C-alpha cells in the first residue's frame, strides 16, 4: 500500500515537470484552436463551413503526407529541398502514362510510387554514402526535376484523367448507414446527411479515448512520467470533440474525402514507426548524436538512405494526389511545396539540429499553416503578405526551439 502511495505521489510530483517539458506541444494545439477561432470570427463563419472544411482537407492533405516523410529527414539531421519538384515530376510521368500511352490508372499509381522511391534512393545514396550535404544534393534535385517536368510537359497541361483516378483526391467514401437510419429516425438533420462519415468520426473519437486511457494507465502502473489526469482528460476531450465536430461538418456536406482516409492511415502508421519500431528509434538517435548511434550498432548510412527513399515515395504519392485533384499535370505543380512542408515540421516542434519531433506535432503544424493560408485567402489578403506572415511564424517557431535549447 505504501509503495502504491509513493508511486502515485511521485507521478503527481512529476506533473509540473511533464507540463514544462511538453509545453510546446500543448501550446501548439492551443495556438491552432486560437487561430481557427480568430479566422472563424474574421471570416464571418466561412472558415468552419462544411464546404470550406472539405476544401481545407483537400488543399492540405499532400502537405501533411509529405511532412510525415520530412519529419524523419529532419529528425535524422538532414533536409530535402526537392520534394516540390518531385511532386511535379511524378505527376507529369503519371499523366504521360495515362494520357499518351493509355495505361490503366492502377499500375500507373504503383509505378509512380516506385519512381518517387527511386528518386529518393538516388539522393539518399549521395547523402548517406557519398557524404555530400543533403542541402546541396536536394537543391540539385530540385532544379533537375523541375527542369525535367517542364521538358516532359513542354509547358502544357496534360489531362484529363479517368474518373476512378480522380477519386483518389476528389472522391468521398460511400454512405452505407444513412438509408436504414433515415427509415428509422426520419430526415430531421437533412436528407443528404452522410451518417457513415458521422459514425466514423464518433468511432474514431472513442478509439482515441480508449487507446489513450490504456496507455496512460500503463504509464501510471509502471511509475513512468505521465500527464496529470486533468491535462490528460482535457487534451483527449478536446481531440474527441474536434473529431466528432469535424465528422459532423463533413457529413453535412459530402462526407469524408478519400484522401482523408489515406492521410489518417499514414499518420497512424508513422506514429507506430516512430514510437514502437527499432528503425524509428535509430532515426531519433542518429539526429541526436550520430557518433553514439554508430557505436550502439545502428548503421547510420542505411538509416539515412531509407529516410530519403521514404521521402521520395511520399512525394510521389503527393504528386498523384495533386494531379488527381487538378485533373491534369501542370509544369508548375508542386512549386514552393517544400517551403510549406519544412515550415510545418519546424512549427510542429521538429528541431533544426535533429533528434526532436513528433508526428502529431507536425500534423498540427501543417494545419496551422493550412488554416492561415485558407483564412488569409478568404479575407482577400495578398499572396505577398501571406508570405510575410508565414515567414514570421516560421522564424518564431525556430526561435522558440533555440530558446528552449539554450535554457536546458
**Along the 408 residues of the chain, how does pLDDT read in single tens digits?**
444 444 444 444 455 555 555 666 677 878 888 889 999 999 998 998 999 999 999 888 999 999 999 999 999 989 999 999 999 999 999 999 999 999 999 999 999 999 999 999 999 999 999 999 999 999 999 999 999 999 999 888 998 999 999 999 989 988 776 556 555 555 556 667 888 888 888 998 898 888 888 888 887 787 666 777 777 788 788 888 888 988 888 988 888 999 999 999 999 999 999 988 888 888 888 876 665 555 554 578 899 999 999 999 999 999 999 999 999 999 999 998 998 999 999 988 888 877 888 898 899 889 888 999 999 999 999 888 988 988 888 888 777 766 666 665
Helical (H) or strand (E) element with 322: helix 300-326
Helical (H) or strand (E) element with 403: helix 383-407
**C-alpha 360 chain-centroid distance:** 8
Residue 246 in any domain: the answer is no
Residue 8 in any domain: the answer is no
Comparing CA positions, the residue from 168, 381, 183, 194 lying closest to residue 262 is 168
Helices (H), 174-257: 178-185, 195-221, 229-253
The contacts of residue 341 (CB under 8 Å, 6+ apart) are 63, 66, 67, 70, 83, 84, 366
The partner residues of 172 in beta bridges, in order of sequence, read 257
**Longest CA–CA separation in the chain, Å:** 76
The CATH number of residue 156's host domain is: 1.10.3470
Residue 2 in any domain: the answer is no
Q: Are 216 and 232 in contact (CB under 8 A)?
A: yes
pLDDT of residue 357: 86
pLDDT of residue 146: 95
Q: Residue 267's domain spans which residues?
A: 21-171+257-407
Dihedral sign, Cα of residue 115, residue 117, residue 120, residue 122: negative
pLDDT of residue 291: 54
pTM comes to 0.88
Comparing CA positions, the residue from 298, 311, 256 lying closest to residue 134 is 311
The contacts of residue 53 (CB under 8 Å, 6+ apart) are 246, 249, 250, 253
Residue 10 in any domain: the answer is no
Q: Tell me how many domains the chain contains.
A: 1
Going from the C-alpha of 289 to that of each of 238, 286, 293, the distances in angstroms are 36, 5, 6
Residue 4 in any domain: the answer is no
Alpha carbon distance 387, 317 (integer Å): 26
Q: Are 95 and 158 in contact (CB under 8 A)?
A: yes
Residue 183 in any domain: the answer is no
Helices (H), 43-133: 50-75, 83-95, 105-128
Residue 228 in any domain: the answer is no
What one-character DSSP code corresponds to residue 48?
T
293, three cell numbers: 548511434
Residue 176 in any domain: the answer is no
Amino acid at each position: 500500500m505504501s509503495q502504491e502511495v509513493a508511486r502515485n505521489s511521485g507521478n503527481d510530483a512529476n506533473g509540473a515537470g511533464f507540463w514544462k517539458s511538453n509545453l510546446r506541444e500543448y501550446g501548439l494545439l492551443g495556438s491552432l484552436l486560437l487561430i481557427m477561432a480568430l479566422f472563424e470570427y474574421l471570416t464571418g463563419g466561412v472558415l468552419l463551413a462544411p464546404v470550406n472544411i472539405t476544401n481545407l482537407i483537400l488543399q492540405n492533405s499532400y502537405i501533411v503526407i509529405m511532412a510525415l516523410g520530412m519529419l524523419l529527414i529532419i529528425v535524422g539531421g538532414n533536409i530535402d529541398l526537392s520534394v516540390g519538384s518531385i511532386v511535379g515530376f511524378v505527376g507529369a510521368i503519371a499523366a504521360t502514362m495515362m494520357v499518351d500511352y493509355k495505361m490503366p490508372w492502377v499500375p500507373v499509381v504503383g509505378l509512380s510510387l516506385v519512381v518517387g522511391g527511386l528518386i529518393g534512393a538516388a539522393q539518399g545514396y549521395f547523402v548517406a554514402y557519398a557524404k555530400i550535404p543533403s542541402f546541396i544534393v536536394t537543391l540539385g534535385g530540385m532544379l533537375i526535376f523541375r527542369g525535367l517536368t517542364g521538358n516532359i510537359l513542354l509547358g502544357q497541361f496534360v489531362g484529363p484523367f479517368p474518373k476512378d483516378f480522380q477519386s483518389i483526391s476528389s472522391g468521398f467514401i460511400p454512405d452505407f448507414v444513412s438509408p436504414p437510419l433515415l427509415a428509422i429516425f426520419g430526415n430531421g438533420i437533412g436528407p443528404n446527411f452522410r451518417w457513415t462519415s458521422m459514425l466514423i468520426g464518433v468511432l474514431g473519437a472513442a478509439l482515441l479515448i480508449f487507446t489513450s486511457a490504456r496507455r496512460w494507465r500503463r504509464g501510471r502502473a509502471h511509475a513512468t512520467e505521465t500527464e496529470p489526469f486533468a491535462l490528460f482528460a482535457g487534451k483527449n476531450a478536446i481531440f474527441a470533440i474536434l473529431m466528432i465536430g469535424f465528422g459532423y461538418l463533413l457529413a453535412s456536406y459530402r462526407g469524408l474525402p478519400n484522401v482523408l482516409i489515406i492521410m489518417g492511415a499514414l499518420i497512424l502508421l508513422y506514429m507506430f514507426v516512430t514510437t514502437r519500431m527499432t528503425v524509428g528509434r535509430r532515426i531519433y538517435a542518429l539526429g541526436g548524436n550520430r557518433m553514439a548511434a554508430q557505436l550502439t550498432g545502428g548503421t547510420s548510412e542505411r538509416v539515412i538512405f531509407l529516410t530519403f527513399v521514404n521521402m521520395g515515395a511520399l512525394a510521389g504519392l503527393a504528386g498523384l494526389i495533386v494531379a488527381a485533384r487538378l485533373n491534369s499535370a501542370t509544369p508548375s505543380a508542386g512549386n514552393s511545396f517544400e517551403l510549406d512542408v519544412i515550415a510545418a515540421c519546424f512549427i510542429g516542434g521538429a528541431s533544426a539540429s535533429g533528434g526532436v519531433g513528433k508526428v502529431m506535432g507536425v500534423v498540427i503544424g501543417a494545419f496551422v499553416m493550412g488554416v492561415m493560408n485558407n483564412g488569409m485567402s478568404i479575407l482577400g489578403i495578398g499572396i505577398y503578405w501571406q508570405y510575410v506572415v508565414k515567414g514570421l511564424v516560421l522564424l518564431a517557431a525556430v526561435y522558440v526551439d533555440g530558446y528552449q535549447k539554450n535554457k536546458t
